[in-house]
A and B are shown apart, each in its own frame.
Chain A
Amino acid sequence: MNFLRHRVVGFYEILEAMGMASMNSSGESLKLCVFDLRRGQNEGQELDKILFFYPPDVTFSTQLSVIGLSEGLITFTRLFSPEAACEVIEAERHSHVFHEAEPDIWMVMVVEKNKEIEAIWRVDALQKVLKEVHSLFVMFHGSVRSLLDKEPSGGLIRSHLYPFITDYLNDLSVGKKLQLPSFRETLKERGTVQMLTLARDAALEVQSLVGVLDSCAGTLRCHSVLLYHDLLVSTTLSPDDTVDLFTYSVMRLTSNALSSGTSSWSYLRKGTSLSQTSSRSISPQLLGSSDSLPSNGNDAGRVIRPLQHNKWSKGKDGFLVTDIWGKDATPTIWLHQRQERVHLLAYQHKCLTLVLLVPTEAIVNGELDISFVKHQVTENGTAKILKVEEKLSKGWGGENAYHVSGYRYLLVDNDMEVSRASPSGKVATLAKETLLAVNKLRETVDTEKSRTKEEKDMEICIRAKNNAWAIARVTRGKELYMALEKASDTLLDATDSVQSFSNRYCNGTFSMD
């Protein structure tokens, strides 16, 4: 599909020139829409296909023109590539980023290109934003299609998508603007999990605790995800489900998330103190009054908004409580791998967060059974929880634990959907030119990767304007990106540095010669 990236540019410019793409009407630098290609195919019913549009205050005609254009591009590119239609359209003033979240359910993000240097993004990173918001949505509400099937009028899905995506975008807002992942975040990978490295004895204690959690609901096995600070300690879920739950936990559940604002170093893009405080002020602007959300009067009554801020708190018994799902109601989420709905219980001891997923079949008597499970956790698990917390806090290296001096790196394991990177504070010391070079490098690798489905080994070195080295090594599903700013280094020195990094920190995975 990649060759289309360039071809279509010309086509789009014609459209833009024809005035069909009236993008600037609202003055917003970002537009995000969700639409269903199976709907509104008859003239006069075009509005049907719109499931979500941001910003919400633009006229229907503007919305229709964006969606109409996107639809046209999808239809057009499908002629050449029926399996995978367009991913991105680069126009002179805008980038259109496409994501087919579910069959015929499309998410499109339109970002304005302006002269500001900060507005340099990597398409793949923007696509990951779309993927993330969608998979989080599915985790809480089920697939878009299933909600459409439930209520073909589309009211139900719209009433769910609107607050959900708006709440999600809140996390991205800085001041009055939405901050999209720019080149400054190029040494981060959205949609992956950051893990805590465990010593064997700690890992055994953790696994022993997981064993106890497994059997907290009797014979039906419970799944669990454990986090320490904002890092994953263990999971019994598939990588996909783990990523979703991990993302949500770091956004809303971990000790750092609860004591919002104290964490300024998190690996994730989770709002820093800046965005956290500002989001509150911007919230009415984005959402209107939160009470006046469209309720649509359907039988579900109220719409659950799991991404709302400051809705979780730690109860006296150590379990986290929220009224998002209603008063005294236990949250439920949808597990992708197992295709089942589970109850979510979160327990916190100091910086250790346990997310326990109880199969709905195990909860027959509602809150009575829930409190039984909670009792089981405290009864059988407390000693082990204390032990695990003790072990982890002893081995805790602090926010810069995974900093390797002299290196700024990003390590991605696509198989396990795991990444590790230099701490943001350290990455921030890199020169702008270096970051831009790494961003460019990553774009190149993205392109290479999407060209062939097969896993290929590759190595790319780029010398930046400031003489820094940006190096990428990819081998069998694992990727290493690295910025080396020692200007005197030759290419040989640089590759030697990568080599020794690979040997020391990656078990020699990237040692190529």
Chain B
Amino acid sequence: MPSSSQTSVGSGALSHAYLQHPSLRCNVPESRGLFYDDANRLLICVTSSQVFSWETVTFNPDVSPSVDSIPEGPILSIRFSLDKKVIAVQRSDCEIQFFHRETKQTLTHKCKAGSESILGFFWSDSPLCDLAVVKTSGMDLFACDSAMNLRLVETKKVNVNWYIYTHESRLVLLASGLQCKTITGFQLSTAGVVRLPKFEMTLATTESNSKPIISPGDVHLITVYGRIYCLQVDMEAMLLHTYRFYRDAVVQQGSLPIYSSKLSVSVVDNLLLVHQIDAKVVIIYDLFVDSRAPVSAPLPLLWRGYQGSDTSSQQENEGTESSTSSENIVMYEDAWTFLVPDLILDQTNKVLWRVHLDLEAISASSSDRSSLLEFLQRRKLEANKAKQLCLGIARALILERRPATQVTQAIDVLVTAYSYSVKAGIYKELKNEKTTATTPTNDGASPDNERGRASGSSIDEEEEVEMNLPSGSADEQQESQLSSPAISPDELYKFVFASVEEAMVEESDYLVAIITEFLRSISAEKLKVDLNIYVMTVRLLAHSKRFAELSLFTTNKIIEPSKEVALQLLESGGQNLRVRKLGLDMLRQLSLHHEYISSLVQDGYYLEALRYAQKRKVTSVRSSLFLEAAFASNDMQHLAAILRVLSELIPGFKETSEYYTFHGLLNETSSSVAV
């Protein structure tokens, strides 16, 4: 391993994106080439007569590839049909061969030699066609039945220099013109084939290069948050232009700076990663926000071993030929191919990497807390980690005693995100998805399902101009078993407020202000929260002796009434009779007769208590409570009255030893009072 790459590959250095060990190895002897079938997410390795394919969705290095035999011949490109029953191989610029994997049937499709040549092909799940063949003269759409009969459905006549297609966007862009900057686009979605308005890409000219030409490697189709963007490199201007596709328009949406003559992109968890290959750094952008500022500073892409305990052993092994890092990784080597959306194929080492994000590192380097929280709430791939980070940030904001406005903003972000995810059904739906395993193929998905999932994966609401796109990452989401990073009010109470209470008890004014904002926020979203937060609020207000406000909070029902709150009021009312009365009133209003009567007696209002018990026919309160209270007050008339009421209230009371005892006491003390 060259020492220069040692530092960048080491696990200790700072990075926001990294490659994770283990990789998917596809080192087949006598390999003649590696291909990637993005529709089926298959990594394909071909030998002279065999096709090895690995599922990249599961990304399990231990699973052996499936192997198919095909006749020998040149292979320009290879793609499995969407039901994976047919393998299609482009043999030359005028011939595509199809092999049925089960019936071993073979079919050869040829185009008119000389007048046109085949640029490539892809399978489609649009209702109109199953296969699209892009030629220099245009695009042929074919229907293909189970017997592998190809039937030409439609031809789109366009002069094509080159094309790009991604299955996740279902979008094909055909480039024409001398500079290849005139783009015709078609979307072959489940809703049909839609022709997009033709548009011109922006190209700066310089004196040295007055007619720059766009090559297919300069254009990237990405799908983030259910939106489709086209990114185009303008090397003369050193800009990466972004275009967003709407149903009836293509709108340029700003440009990102380029710091390298070679550039590629990945999309991880709806974030755009621009690899500045010469500079060996990656810059992360979140196209969701209007700002085109990067999420974080440019940092190298790193390689990481197993997480946790392995990290230390990794460091010890540095410099030696470690068993786990047998491949000689050189970051951003020429032989790297960037695959849609987040894979990197290292042709030299014959390994496939997946790009990961280090959310922790990204949050650590961000200073704007509420934007960071918004950012984390949009994460889906590592929802749990994002959630934990959010909770940590919220706690830290409070513990660091940040200005209340800042904390409020942060809380609003979390509450709004939760409310949105509940309304959109993501919060619950995703939990369901975990249990119901749907096949990640096209067959099962009806247009409705696809659409629903697409909107589910998008936080954006601009559906009026949004194309109905199946979310390409839906499969991936299932794979990573995610739930939403949304945090429910109960969780906010439990993991933020309750957990900081002890530390903040001397700053209860501040904490109460924050809790009020939290309550306001959830009330605005019509959400509910664990009633213990009200108990806590009572405790905090009483602690700082803010009795007037405690009373306001209670009468205005900012503190929602409950038995727990009432009991806390009684307890806190030890210092303040007014507060105790608030608790008593609450008990009465909640018809908690037993607690109300017991508390009245405890306060010495035993006559009122008994009257209330008599009125409500409450017999659960120990009769001795009243009797003892009356006896202690030394008022024998009261005692007599109580004995009489109890005799009426409780059947058989006169037979109890209690009656006997107190009746005796009464007679001893005063013979004049009749019972």
Q: Does residue B615 face the partner (Cβ distance < 8 Å to A)? A: yes
Query: In the assembled complex, how far is the CB of residue B267 from the closest CB belonging to chain A, in whole angstroms?
Result: 37
Among B403, B519, B520, find the residue whose CB has the most chain A CB atoms closer than 10 A: B520
Instruction: Scan residues 450-470 of chain A and give those whose CB is less than 8 A from a CB of chain B.
Output: 457
By a CB distance below 8 angstroms, the chain A residues around B523 are 200-201, 204
Q: Does residue A9 face the partner (Cβ distance < 8 Å to B)? A: no
Instruction: Scan residues 584-601 of chain B and give those whose CB is less than 8 A from a CB of chain A.
Output: 585, 588-589
B556 touches A235 (CB 8 A): no
Interface size class of A (residues with CB under 8 A): 20 to 34
- Comparing B271-279, B381-389, B486-494, B509-517, the segment that makes contact with chain A is B509-517
Instruction: Scan residues 565-597 of chain B and give those whose CB is less than 8 A from a CB of chain A.
Output: 577-578, 581, 585, 588-589
Q: Does residue B632 face the partner (Cβ distance < 8 Å to A)? A: no
Q: Does residue B553 face the partner (Cβ distance < 8 Å to A)? A: yes
Instruction: Scan residues 149-176 of chain A and give those whose CB is less than 8 A from a CB of chain B.
Output: none
| Interfacial residues, chain A to chain B (CB-CB below 8 A) | 198, 200-201, 203-205, 207-208, 211-212, 214-215, 221, 234-239, 242, 380, 415-416, 457, 476-477, 507-509, 513
Contact with A along B494-528 (1 / 0, CB 8 A): 00000000000000010001001101100110000
By a CB distance below 8 angstroms, the chain A residues around B408 are 208
A415 touches B585 (CB 8 A): no
Q: Please, could you name 24 A-B residue pairs with CB atoms under 8 Å apart, sorted by A?
A: A200-B557, A204-B516, A205-B520, A207-B516, A207-B520, A207-B558, A208-B408, A211-B516, A211-B517, A212-B405, A215-B403, A221-B509, A235-B548, A236-B548, A236-B549, A237-B548, A242-B548, A415-B577, A416-B578, A476-B605, A507-B589, A508-B588, A508-B589, A509-B585
Contact A214-B581, Cβ < 8 Å, known A200-B558, A207-B516, A457-B608: no
By a CB distance below 8 angstroms, the chain A residues around B549 are 234-236
- Distance in angstroms between the alpha carbons of A513 and B509 in the assembled complex: 42
Contact of B552 among A235, A476, A513 (CB under 8 A): A235
Among A208, A221, A238, A507, find the residue whose CB has the most chain B CB atoms closer than 10 A: A208
- Distance in angstroms between the alpha carbons of A453 and B558 in the assembled complex: 33
A211 touches B404 (CB 8 A): yes
Q: Does residue B551 face the partner (Cβ distance < 8 Å to A)? A: yes
Query: In the assembled complex, how far is the CB of residue B610 from the closest CB belonging to chain A, in whole angstroms?
Result: 12
| Interfacial residues, chain B to chain A (CB-CB below 8 A) | 403-405, 408, 509, 513, 516-517, 519-520, 523-524, 546-549, 551-553, 556-558, 577-578, 581, 585, 588-589, 605, 608, 615
Closest A-B pairs by Cβ, 6 of them: A203-B556, A211-B513, A204-B520, A415-B578, A207-B516, A200-B557
Query: In the assembled complex, how far is the CB of residue B583 from the closest CB belonging to chain A, in whole angstroms?
Result: 13
Among B403, B548, B549, find the residue whose CB has the most chain A CB atoms closer than 10 A: B548
Query: In the assembled complex, how far is the CB of residue B363 from the closest CB belonging to chain A, in whole angstroms?
Result: 27
By a CB distance below 8 angstroms, the chain B residues around A238 are 547-548
A198 touches B556 (CB 8 A): yes
By a CB distance below 8 angstroms, the chain B residues around A416 are 548, 551, 578
By a CB distance below 8 angstroms, the chain B residues around A457 are 608
Nearest CB to that of A380 among chain B residues? Answer: B405
- Distance in angstroms between the alpha carbons of A461 and B551 in the assembled complex: 31
Given contacts A200-B523, A200-B556, A236-B549, 6 further A-B pairs with CB under 8 A are A204-B523, A204-B558, A215-B404, A221-B509, A235-B548, A415-B577
Query: In the assembled complex, how far is the CB of residue B283 from the closest CB belonging to chain A, in whole angstroms?
Result: 35
- Distance in angstroms between the alpha carbons of A235 and B555 in the assembled complex: 13
A234 touches B517 (CB 8 A): no
By a CB distance below 8 angstroms, the chain A residues around B548 are 235-239, 242, 416
Query: In the assembled complex, how far is the CB of residue A354 from the closest CB belonging to chain B, in whole angstroms?
Result: 16
Query: In the assembled complex, how far is the CB of residue A222 from the closest CB belonging to chain B, in whole angstroms?
Result: 11
- Distance in angstroms between the alpha carbons of A212 and B403 in the assembled complex: 10
- Distance in angstroms between the alpha carbons of A198 and B551 in the assembled complex: 13
By a CB distance below 8 angstroms, the chain B residues around A212 are 404-405
By a CB distance below 8 angstroms, the chain A residues around B577 are 415
Query: In the assembled complex, how far is the CB of residue A245 from the closest CB belonging to chain B, in whole angstroms?
Result: 12
- Distance in angstroms between the alpha carbons of A238 and B544 in the assembled complex: 13
- Distance in angstroms between the alpha carbons of A323 and B553 in the assembled complex: 36
- Distance in angstroms between the alpha carbons of A211 and B403 in the assembled complex: 11
Nearest CB to that of A201 among chain B residues? Answer: B523
Nearest CB to that of A234 among chain B residues? Answer: B552
B589 touches A203 (CB 8 A): no
Query: In the assembled complex, how far is the CB of residue B590 from the closest CB belonging to chain A, in whole angstroms?
Result: 10
Nearest CB to that of B600 among chain A residues? Answer: A476
A476 touches B513 (CB 8 A): no
- Distance in angstroms between the alpha carbons of A204 and B524 in the assembled complex: 9
By a CB distance below 8 angstroms, the chain A residues around B556 are 198, 200, 203
Among A237, A242, A416, find the residue whose CB has the most chain B CB atoms closer than 10 A: A416
- Distance in angstroms between the alpha carbons of A507 and B558 in the assembled complex: 17
Contact of B517 among A208, A476, A509 (CB under 8 A): A208
- Distance in angstroms between the alpha carbons of A207 and B557 in the assembled complex: 12
By a CB distance below 8 angstroms, the chain B residues around A198 are 556
Query: In the assembled complex, how far is the CB of residue A477 from the closest CB belonging to chain B, in whole angstroms?
Result: 7
Among A198, A415, A513, find the residue whose CB has the most chain B CB atoms closer than 10 A: A415
Among A203, A204, A215, find the residue whose CB has the most chain B CB atoms closer than 10 A: A204
Query: In the assembled complex, how far is the CB of residue A219 from the closest CB belonging to chain B, in whole angstroms?
Result: 9
Query: In the assembled complex, how far is the CB of residue B365 from the closest CB belonging to chain A, in whole angstroms?
Result: 29
- Distance in angstroms between the alpha carbons of A236 and B541 in the assembled complex: 11
- Distance in angstroms between the alpha carbons of A455 and B47 in the assembled complex: 98
Query: In the assembled complex, how far is the CB of residue A408 from the closest CB belonging to chain B, in whole angstroms?
Result: 23
Query: In the assembled complex, how far is the CB of residue B356 from the closest CB belonging to chain A, in whole angstroms?
Result: 40
- Distance in angstroms between the alpha carbons of A416 and B554 in the assembled complex: 12
By a CB distance below 8 angstroms, the chain A residues around B585 are 507, 509
- Distance in angstroms between the alpha carbons of A212 and B520 in the assembled complex: 13
B558 touches A203 (CB 8 A): yes
By a CB distance below 8 angstroms, the chain A residues around B558 are 200, 203-204, 207
- Distance in angstroms between the alpha carbons of A513 and B612 in the assembled complex: 8
Query: In the assembled complex, how far is the CB of residue B438 from the closest CB belonging to chain A, in whole angstroms?
Result: 41
- Distance in angstroms between the alpha carbons of A204 and B557 in the assembled complex: 9
A208 touches B520 (CB 8 A): yes
By a CB distance below 8 angstroms, the chain B residues around A201 are 523-524
Nearest CB to that of B584 among chain A residues? Answer: A476
Query: In the assembled complex, how far is the CB of residue B137 from the closest CB belonging to chain A, in whole angstroms?
Result: 61
- Distance in angstroms between the alpha carbons of A236 and B547 in the assembled complex: 9
- Distance in angstroms between the alpha carbons of A508 and B588 in the assembled complex: 8
- Distance in angstroms between the alpha carbons of A205 and B516 in the assembled complex: 9
B615 touches A513 (CB 8 A): yes
By a CB distance below 8 angstroms, the chain A residues around B520 are 204-205, 207-208
- Distance in angstroms between the alpha carbons of A509 and B588 in the assembled complex: 9
B519 touches A204 (CB 8 A): yes
- Distance in angstroms between the alpha carbons of A276 and B408 in the assembled complex: 45
Nearest CB to that of A205 among chain B residues? Answer: B520
Nearest CB to that of A476 among chain B residues? Answer: B581
- Distance in angstroms between the alpha carbons of A238 and B579 in the assembled complex: 13
Nearest CB to that of A207 among chain B residues? Answer: B516
Query: In the assembled complex, how far is the CB of residue B449 from the closest CB belonging to chain A, in whole angstroms?
Result: 38
Query: In the assembled complex, how far is the CB of residue A216 from the closest CB belonging to chain B, in whole angstroms?
Result: 11
- Distance in angstroms between the alpha carbons of A207 and B519 in the assembled complex: 10
- Distance in angstroms between the alpha carbons of A238 and B549 in the assembled complex: 9
By a CB distance below 8 angstroms, the chain A residues around B557 are 200, 203
Query: In the assembled complex, how far is the CB of residue A311 from the closest CB belonging to chain B, in whole angstroms?
Result: 29
Contact of A214 among B513, B524, B553, B615 (CB under 8 A): B513
Query: In the assembled complex, how far is the CB of residue B41 from the closest CB belonging to chain A, in whole angstroms?
Result: 49
Contact A214-B516, Cβ < 8 Å, known A236-B549, A238-B548, A416-B578: no
Nearest CB to that of A238 among chain B residues? Answer: B548
B553 touches A207 (CB 8 A): yes
- Distance in angstroms between the alpha carbons of A513 and B551 in the assembled complex: 27
- Distance in angstroms between the alpha carbons of A416 and B585 in the assembled complex: 14
Query: In the assembled complex, how far is the CB of residue A127 from the closest CB belonging to chain B, in whole angstroms?
Result: 23
By a CB distance below 8 angstroms, the chain B residues around A211 are 404, 513, 516-517
Nearest CB to that of B603 among chain A residues? Answer: A476
Among A200, A237, A477, find the residue whose CB has the most chain B CB atoms closer than 10 A: A200
By a CB distance below 8 angstroms, the chain B residues around A508 are 588-589
By a CB distance below 8 angstroms, the chain B residues around A242 are 548
- Distance in angstroms between the alpha carbons of A204 and B559 in the assembled complex: 10
Query: In the assembled complex, how far is the CB of residue A450 from the closest CB belonging to chain B, in whole angstroms?
Result: 19
Nearest CB to that of B605 among chain A residues? Answer: A476
